Structure 1
């Protein structure tokens, strides 16, 4: 199936303030380029509003560094979202998942995608753990999220930072260096075939 065959197929992207910059910008742009309609939403905000992003980088410290990112403009209203309208869900990382997981409507929305492809990256695993949708499943996330993955019954995938893992309809990865593999595995579940070099 080609990208053109995806025209009109809708995906939902969960955003929040201080979402990781690459982890929202790159998937949004790549999936849109393939012909998907990507509705980016945030609780309490409407289409045309924006979320602030944070740039996380790996610069030799014991954890990632954080710098101000960009304004990312939302494309749909959270309150209007009906999970049944979407073919899949994208959960970027950054600091947004730590507070989004406190919203019962967000948790219900994540649970509603149990029968469709879900792509979560980095701290997005915090949201999956809070929604209790990973018990018995192999899940990657930023290494600092490992305890939460395991406490929620998931099997933490200790993989390279540029790798991704698929377990059923769930694709997960540790951080933005994994975008090529993470997005390739996700769109494969959505019916788009890609071949990565190597």
Structure 2
């Protein structure tokens, strides 16, 4: 298996599990992951939030860990990366306001490179205008933005543990989907894990 260079877009109050788990799992299988945040550099941290499903009308939020960035946003060249990962949480709602973030996302979509987005991550895809004709499984509250962005939003399973693949776009509704979402992303990347 050839290691892939993967870019991960994060920001303050990214969902804790949705940044920590894929970052560590992709490193574990041998990929090179660069986690970046606009206006921050390698060595800086972003605050994370833990979102849980506790029977309320929406998810609850608690403070998470600090996540250390290992690359500097202003120094990245999207063309040097093979794939993109966009975790959810609250970060996507403001990261999508950054023109360079949208340009980076468009580079991956325009060049048919693998993109994995989970939970609220598709907010950035919608803002970048790359969802036309795509089928996406986002967090349900993001479904209207997917549709407005020209995509089709499909519902999660009752346990939020499903993922969906449309070409090289891999989406999932929330962190319970990690096994299906990461497995699907690894397949799109061409990563083989032998039992």
TM interval, short-chain normalised: over 0.9
Paired positions, count: 191
Aligned-residue Cα RMSD (Å) equals 1.2
1:62 to 20, 32, 57: 57
1:92 aligns with 2:87: yes
Tell me, what secondary structure is at the counterpart of 2:65? Answer: strand
How far is 1:139 from its partner?
0.5
Structure-2 separation of matches of 1:185 and 1:191? 10
Is the contact made by 1:184 and 1:194 (CA closer than 8 Å) also made in structure 2? no
1:119 aligns with 2:116: yes
Unpaired runs of 5+ residues, structure 2, are: none
How far is 1:194 from its partner?
4.8
TM-score normalised by length of structure 1: 0.94
TM-score normalised by length of structure 2: 0.95
Unpaired runs of 5+ residues, structure 1, are: none
1:181–1:164 distance in 2 versus 1, CA, 3 Å: same
Structure-2 separation of matches of 1:165 and 1:195? 23
Structure-2 separation of matches of 1:71 and 1:175? 20
Is the contact made by 2:139 and 2:156 (CA closer than 8 Å) also made in structure 1? no
Structure-1 separation of matches of 2:39 and 2:144? 29
Is the contact made by 2:140 and 2:156 (CA closer than 8 Å) also made in structure 1? no
Map 1:156-175 → 2, pairs under 5 A: 156-160=153-157, 161-175=160-174
Q: Deviations over 1:109-132 (max 9, x none)?
A: 000001100000000010011001
Is the contact made by 1:19 and 1:52 (CA closer than 8 Å) also made in structure 2? yes
Tell me, what secondary structure is at the counterpart of 1:126? Answer: helix
1:74 maps to which residue?
69
How far is 1:157 from its partner?
1.3
1:129 maps to which residue?
126
